[in-house]
Amino acid sequence: MSLTESPSFKTFNKPLKAASLPDDEAYVLGLTSLDNVYAASASSPSNEIFLFDKLSLQTIQKLRGHNTATTSIRTVHGLAAADRQLLLSSGKDGCVKAWDPRSNSVAVDSETSGALRPLLCCDASSDGLTVAAGTVLEREDALILYWDPRFPAAPLRTHGSTHSDDVTVVSFLKQSQSTQKILLSASSDGLISTSNAEEHDEDEAVLHVGNWSRSVSQAGWICGPAGADVWAASDMETFSTWSKELDPRTDLDIRNPSVHTQSRTWVTDYLISCQNNTRSSGDLRVFVGSNEGDFALISSSDVYDASAPWSLHRVWSEGHTDIVRSVLWDEENGVILSGGEDGGIKLWSAPPLEDAYRGPMEVDDVASPARKREWDGSLTSDADMEVVRYINVKTVRLILIALKQDTKRKRR
């Protein structure tokens, strides 16, 4: 496994915006994007969820989170037939909550039946009619719980034999990829599984099982034209890919490849997360970090071939002073949000990466100035055509609203 700089490599040494959690002892656990805000979940002792304005990165709202450790957050659409986005979260208090940021209230509150079991992860199906969550191991059971969010008082069904240790991942396959509701789950027991989420009989529900023989900390779908495969990451910073039937394809140490040139050195210390390339279906983007607080984007020319070369596309540095725990790529707005154990939340420029997947195309020099003026709130008429070209209509509307509000304030 080798790593080389891509032809259009870029480094970013200064965030566009910066914010931090109010509690100095808390760090950022997770990030997600809603219509007009970013959401960040905080670790103990806070356990709260903070909402940040997308343009200014100012805190505009605080949700109380969970009584004990907020463990995951997700943006969901159409939950329980709602016609809006909601924020789904799980916690070690045994609850899955769906928050309505417009009213600062809990729209759906699902609890484990009986004695509340700590939850580590959650997700909702594409149609919004099924919620799943994974529990820690208690006694001899680690459970996958399913709810109908329209009737959240108790789980619809409980699967207790799919995994034998903490369930660390639950992730639904997008409905467009399958006629079934398929749930991907992973666990500290080393197993990666797919299940039919609508099947009550657990023996019949499990579709495929892959055994990695190491504790799985993260996993997700790789959605492409030929279907959906799976990636996974372990507690030991190893990375793997799996076929849709969960046959192993690659298994490698993500820390091995490094770049050493006259101009720079990049050494990976840990894997942060992976994200599908929405512009080129099937490509997987891998975010990795250094212990100094820098993070980078790398990708493989073929994630199913362990010997395939990898490329270093971007490095974001000098923003965090500690490990980066979460990265959110907001491709619609051409920015990346990062959150770290230093409690910092940084907003960075992230121009398109078509060059990385369709050959060398130097778009950054054109896009970056317009993006920077956009997020600095100082858009000028000379940049209008550039902004329209590189950002979507939704973003333009947000900018115009902000400019109008700024004009009104100045008039006052």
pLDDT digits (tens, 9 = 90+) for 133-161: 999 999 899 999 999 999 988 899 999 99
Chain-centre distance for alpha carbon 113: 29
Q: Write out pLDDT tens, residues 270-282.
A: 999 999 875 555 5
Question: Looking at residue 372, what is its pLDDT?
Answer: 43
Tokens of 95: 């609850």
Tally: H helices and E strands in the chain? 5, 31
Question: Looking at residue 282, what is its pLDDT?
Answer: 57
| Distance in Å from the first CA to the final CA of the chain | 61
| Amino acid (1-letter code) at residue 179 | T
Please name the residue that has the structure tokens 């719980």: 145
Q: Say yes or no to pLDDT of 173 above 80.
A: yes
Q: Write out pLDDT tens, residues 63-80.
A: 988 988 999 999 998 898
Q: How many CB atoms within 10 Å of residue 181? A: 20
CA distance 127 to 17: 35
pTM of the predicted protein model: 0.84
Reported as a pLDDT band with limits 50, 70 and 90, residue 113 is low
Domain limits of the chain? 3-362, 363-412
Burial 359-388 (b: 16+ CB within 10 A, else e): eeeeebeebbebbebbbeeebeeebeebbe
The chain-wide mean pLDDT, for the chain, equals 85
Question: Looking at residue 110, what is its pLDDT?
Answer: 83
Give strand ranges (E) for 189-283: 191-196, 206-211, 216-224, 227-234, 238-242, 248-253, 258-260, 265-267, 270-276
CATH-assigned architecture of domain 3-362: 7 Propeller (2.130)
Q: How many residues does the chain have?
A: 412
Question: Looking at residue 280, what is its pLDDT?
Answer: 54
